[in-house]
């Protein structure tokens, strides 16, 4: 993704991982058979691998640089983590930190971190392992979490601790990538419509998780929205009523997605998704009863 500018705000992406992930019917159960063929003209090969028909997914953060702050939205998978039931996410030695530095940003430069929700693939780089302990990766940052989201998972964590038969919460990520930030005193629990700056704020987007949020960036000179996991793959634009298998409340997730798509379709709003692969950003346009994605890059 080339740097996107919304007024004085620069948006870049920092990739942790990108590649073919899974077929549509695995990722979005109930999606109509034939959806990819019907939308092949804009889906293949950028968003769907032609040979295997697997969806291509990215795991990425967005870096926002404003005149006042350096802000990171979502923290991907992280390195050195042990992830119950996720061998491909375990003991990773990925290049994310180098990718951040390639933008001229050191961990110490980050003022604000926010996670759209607290799943394992959005909190990983919140922490890193130093001398066998998990410490906040960004020593000078305030980590902004929606209170509804944090309290949901904190309650789940108590239930897990009370029942040793339950698997580690969110593959183990709550304990090694969320709690150490809270224990270091760097977490700020906020309302789901929290204003980060005049032109940047959170907006509630429940369904994928109870306290899921998106990040709105609006300036008289442009608009962008960081949609997190409100849509996991742009293939869902062809059948937006179908939610991913990872959504805790699929019906509410669909309602949130449809409302968002109606708001951004046929506008100049730049849509950036946590899992939308290269170039990660585009515009939503109507396509019959559904939608499609226009990246503006050949
Ligand atoms: Zn995700």
pLDDT in tens, 27-42: 999 999 999 999 999 9
Q: How many CB atoms lie within 10 A of CB 274?
A: 28
**Residue 155, helix vs strand vs coil:** helix
CB-count exposure of residue 188 (10 Å: 0-12, 13-18, 19+): middle
Both tokens of 4, joined, read 């996107």
Number of domains making up the chain: 1
- Whole domain around residue 185: which residue ranges? 4-294
Distance (Å) from CA 36 to ligand 1 centroid:
21
Distance (Å) from CA 25 to ligand 1 centroid:
17
Distance (Å) from CA 38 to ligand 1 centroid:
26
Q: What are the start-end ranges of the H helices in the chain?
A: 24-27, 35-38, 40-43, 96-101, 120-123, 147-162, 173, 179-183, 250-264
Task: State yes or no: pLDDT of 298 exceeds 60.
Answer: no
Distance (Å) from CA 2 to ligand 1 centroid:
22
Both tokens of 126, joined, read 């919140």
Distance (Å) from CA 220 to ligand 1 centroid:
30
Distance (Å) from CA 122 to ligand 1 centroid:
6
Q: What is the mean pLDDT of residues 16-34?
A: 96
pTM: 0.97
Q: Rounded to whole angstroms, how far apart are CA atoms 256 and 230? A: 7
Task: State yes or no: pLDDT of 297 exceeds 90.
Answer: no
Distance (Å) from CA 262 to ligand 1 centroid:
22
Distance (Å) from CA 161 to ligand 1 centroid:
24
**Residue 110, helix vs strand vs coil:** coil
- CA–CA distance from 261 to each of 60, 123, 244, 291, 292 (Å)? 21, 26, 16, 8, 10
Both tokens of 85, joined, read 């039931």
Task: State yes or no: pLDDT of 222 exceeds 60.
Answer: yes
pLDDT band at 193 (very low <50, low <70, confident <90, very high): very high
Closest CA to 209 of 253, 241, 177, 271: 253
Predicted pLDDT at 296: 81
Q: What is the mean pLDDT of residues 198-226?
A: 98
Distance (Å) from CA 19 to ligand 1 centroid:
14
| Strand 281-287 with 112-114, pairing | unpaired
> Residues 230-278: pLDDT tens digits?
999 999 999 999 999 999 999 999 999 999 999 999 999 999 999 999 9
Task: State yes or no: pLDDT of 57 exceeds 80.
Answer: yes
Distance (Å) from CA 209 to ligand 1 centroid:
10
Q: What is the mean pLDDT of residues 161-165?
A: 93
Both tokens of 185, joined, read 């005193």
Strands (E), the chain: 4-6, 9-23, 54-65, 70-73, 112-114, 127-130, 133-136, 142-146, 187-190, 195-197, 200-204, 213-219, 222-228, 270-273, 281-287, 290-294
Distance (Å) from CA 217 to ligand 1 centroid:
20
- Calculate the average pLDDT of the chain: 97
Distance (Å) from CA 57 to ligand 1 centroid:
10
Q: What is the mean pLDDT of residues 159-178?
A: 96
Distance (Å) from CA 153 to ligand 1 centroid:
16
Distance (Å) from CA 232 to ligand 1 centroid:
7
Distance (Å) from CA 103 to ligand 1 centroid:
23
> Residues 113-148: pLDDT tens digits?
999 999 999 999 999 999 999 999 999 999 999 999
Measured in residues, the chain has a length of: 298
CATH number, position 278: 3.60.15.10
């Amino acid at each position: 993704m080339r740097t996107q500018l919304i007024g004085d705000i620069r948006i870049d992406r920092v990739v942790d991982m990108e590649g073919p992930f899974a077929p549509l019917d695995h990722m979005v159960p109930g999606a109509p058979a034939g959806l990819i063929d019907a939308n092949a003209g804009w889906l293949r090969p950028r968003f769907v691998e032609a040979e295997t028909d697997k969806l291509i997914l990215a795991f990425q953060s967005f870096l926002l640089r404003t005149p006042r702050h350096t802000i990171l939205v979502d923290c991907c998978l992280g390195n050195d983590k042990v992830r119950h039931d996720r061998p491909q996410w375990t003991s990773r030695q990925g290049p994310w930190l180098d990718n951040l530095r390639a933008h001229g940003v050191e961990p110490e430069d980050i003022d604000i971190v926010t996670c759209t929700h607290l799943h394992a693939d959005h909190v990983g780089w919140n922490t890193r392992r130093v001398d066998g302990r998990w410490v906040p990766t960004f020593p000078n940052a305030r980590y902004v979490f929606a209170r509804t989201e944090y309290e949901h998972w904190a309650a789940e964590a108590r239930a897990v601790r009370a029942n040793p038969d339950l698997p580690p919460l969110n593959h183990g990520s709550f304990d090694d990538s969320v709690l150490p930030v809270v224990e270091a005193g760097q977490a700020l629990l906020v309302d789901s419509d929290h204003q980060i700056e005049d032109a940047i704020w959170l907006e509630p987007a429940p369904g994928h998780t109870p306290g899921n949020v998106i990040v709105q960036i609006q300036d008289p000179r442009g608009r962008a929205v960081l949609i997190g996991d409100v849509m996991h793959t742009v293939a869902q634009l062809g059948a937006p009523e179908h939610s991913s298998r990872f959504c805790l409340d699929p019906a509410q997730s669909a309602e949130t997605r449809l409302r968002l798509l109606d708001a951004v379709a046929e506008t100049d709003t730049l849509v950036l998704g946590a899992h939308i692969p290269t170039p990660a950003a585009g515009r939503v346009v109507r396509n019959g009863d559904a939608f499609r994605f226009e990246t503006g890059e050949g």
